Structure 1
Amino acid sequence: MKLNWGTGIVLAFIGFISFIMYFVINMNTVKKYDTSLVTENYYKAELEYQNDINKETNAKELTTNITWKRTEQGLEISFPETMEANQITGKVFLYRPSNEHVDFETAISLSHHNLLIPDKRLLDGRWNIKVDWQYNGKSYLYKKEIVY
């Protein structure tokens, strides 16, 4: 059987359209390629954004802000030494943009100025850390993208 130009062009179009349809269907149905929002309640979080801006402004006014470092035991978050550690309260949120199943939240309970998050809870890769904390009735916020 011999193919002429018209038949070849039609077969090429059909092959190309089939490839595109396979790609579109695969991207929409396979959970591996999930393109949902990073946070579940995106619009609620958007409304609370001004509070976050105010807290970040308070944190920038501090002489020393929160610092972090990776140790053998895990992620060590250090709070300012000028504050009393037992009066610092709040929460630490760690989430991965690539996998919401490993996200977690920890309450801040300090006896010294350091908070340790165990290494077994953290997978290697990019994490977004958000420390929402209070001291003497004033709220502060520290946000950072870290690679662990």
Structure 2
Amino acid sequence: MNWGKGIILGMALFMLFIIGMCVHMFRMPADEYDHHYYEKGLNFDQDYNKEMQVVTDRTRPEIRINGDVVHIDFKKSAKGNIRFIRPSSEALDKVFQLNTGTGKTALFSIVTLVKGRWQLVLEWKSDQKNYLYEQEVDLR
């Protein structure tokens, strides 16, 4: 085989590689990105202040999972919401209303949630102060 055939063969293999990569890239699913990226960026300072309020007031809630129930213990009565965010699928995310009433404990049934890793985002108001707390949990 002379050098001319080698160059042509090398170019053909390179072109096949590029065509194969193009086909592979077009078959990949659409990128999963946060559609609310810019909105979250604008609200970052407010969320940061809420998170720091938890640290300053030492009001970090205690989260316990017993079977199919999540127990959340607060320092004082709280009202707000809790988001169960599934990192692998936005379609599985759930939002529950949070109201401890006169008590300090909130209970949530997790029977309908898929087992695995979840991000809990608690946003509540207590004594005219707003709080935000995030924690990862494993549901089994």
Task: Please report the TM-score for the alignment, with normalisation by the length of structure 1.
Answer: 0.75
* Structure 2 partner of 1:78: 72
Of the three residues 108, 111, 120, the one matched with 1:119 is 111
What percent of counterpart residues are identical? 24
Does 2:103 align with 1:110? no
Unaligned runs of 5+ in 1: none
Q: Partners in 2 of 1:62 and 1:19 — Cα distance?
A: 59
Gaps of 5+ in 2: none
Give the paired residue count: 137
Q: 1:88-116 CA distances to partner (integer Å, 9 max, x unpaired)? A: 11111122232111112111133550332
**RMSD over equivalenced CA pairs, Å:** 2.4
Residue 139 of structure 1 corresponds to which residue in structure 2?
A: 130
Q: Equivalent of 2:42, from 26, 35, 47?
A: 47
Q: TM-score, normalised to structure 2's length?
A: 0.78
Preserved CA contact (<8 Å) 2:124 2:131: yes
Encode CA deviations 1:31-63: one digit per residue, 9 max, x unaligned: 2xx3231x3211011100100110001111233
Q: Tell me, in whole angstroms, the C-alpha distance in 2 between the residues paired with 1:20 and 1:123.
A: 41
CA distance in 2: counterparts of 1:17 and 1:94, whole angstroms: 47
Q: Structure 1's 28 and 67: CA in aligned 2 closer, same or farther, altered over 3 A? A: farther
Q: Kindly provide the amino acid, as one letter, of the partner of residue 8 in structure 2.
A: V
Distance (whole Å) between structure 1 residues aligned to residue 14 and residue 118 of structure 2: 39
CA distance, structure 1, for counterparts of residue 50 and residue 16 of structure 2: 52
1:64 CA drift (Å): 4.3
Relative to structure 1, is the Cα distance of residues 21 and 101 closer, same or farther in structure 2, using a 3 angstrom cutoff? farther
- Classify 1:83/1:41 alpha carbon distance in 2 versus 1 (closer, same or farther; 3 Å): same
Write the distance in 2 (CA, Å) between the matches of 1:12 and 1:146: 52
Distance 1:26 1:64, change over 3 A: same
